[in-house]
Structure 1
Amino acid sequence: MSLRKAGLAAVVLAMALLGCTQEQQNKISRDIQNWTGTNGVLEVYSGDKVVRRFLKIDKMSTAMGTDDGRARNYRFGYGVLDENLNFVADPDERKVYFEISDYTNMVFFENPR
């Protein structure tokens, strides 16, 4: 794609986003992020201390009700359980399924390493 066409495409996309509500923009951003993936880290806290850390999370999803289709009070995903909390997915640490409630003290962020 030529530089001119890429610039035009960027302008068109920006104008389209300006016509969207904030929630629609957030959904588009989440959809793009889900498609591209992330190298996420989830830290779970007890008070001010990290008690669990999950690495290499590509996305977390909101659980939806089977019958009513409404969002549930928890999120779930897959990540490597960092048992020794050293920010490295060691060979003996495995990818696991996890669930966290809306009331969990946690931080989710992109891995800076």
Structure 2
Amino acid sequence: MKTIAMTRLLTLGMLAILLTSCTQEQQNKISRDIQNWTGTNGVLEIYAGDKVVRRFLKIDKISTALGTDDGKPRAYRYGYGVLDENLNLQVDPGEKKVYFEISDYTNAVFFENPR
């Protein structure tokens, strides 16, 4: 019993040391990988001024596009979500999952659905 507890403690200690030695970007990537693995119930709202004009529901992640040849990040994000056509924050019959792209310059908010 003591051996198992000691092994767990040693493993946690090593993990803590490993995480503190990572750069902030590496820590963020680890966090995103964990979040991508566990999934989210994300909502993406697109604004025109102060008015919501598009809403996507049940988004598990939004990815940054990378160039095919150079591998550099592009100025847009993409993902899949259910288009909330009537903007009522719920998936209604007939509303389907769609592919979307948004520019870095789009007025948008991404958040976890509180429902």
> Structure 2-normalised TM-score?
0.88
Q: Which residue matches 2:54?
A: 52
Counterpart CA distance in 1 for 2:106 and 2:59 is 17
Segments of structure 2 that go 5 or more residues without pairing to the other structure are: none
Q: How many residues align?
A: 112
Which consecutive segments of 4 or more residues in structure 1 shift more than 2 A?
A: 2-15
Moved more, 3-12 or 98-107: 3-12
Q: Secondary structure at the match of 1:68?
A: coil
CA RMSD of superposed structures (Å): 1.7
Counterpart CA distance in 2 for 1:111 and 1:81 is 14
Segments of structure 1 that go 5 or more residues without pairing to the other structure are: none
Q: Deviations over 1:13-63 (max 9, x none)?
A: 233211111111101101111111111100000111111000000111111
Q: Alpha-carbon deviation of 1:70?
A: 1.0
Matched-pair identity in %: 75
> Structure 1-normalised TM-score?
0.89
Larger Rg over CA atoms: 2
